[in-house]
Amino acid sequence: MRRWVKTTILAAFLSGLTALAAAQTDISAQLTFTTIDVPGAGITVIGDINDAGDMVG
């Protein structure tokens, strides 16, 4: 019984978190993503961009 109550509370909490996050605006669909891969690199991580479009990473 106690385990059931704990599981139910946890499920409700996680559900609440998900619903809360889902309630936020998602602007991803409005954006165009352009991938940047450094030639020959296994991974690429971009750190910043200035107003001229220069990037570092």
Q: Nearer Cβ to another protein, position 5 or 22?
A: 22
48 binds another protein (CB under 8 A): yes
Q: Nearer Cβ to another protein, position 1 or 22?
A: 22
3 binds another protein (CB under 8 A): no
Tell me if 1 sits within 8 A of 8, measured CB to CB: no
Measure the CA–CA gap between 57 and 54, rounded to whole angstroms. 10
Q: Which residues bind another protein (CB under 8 A)?
A: 16-18, 20-21, 23-28, 30-38, 42-57
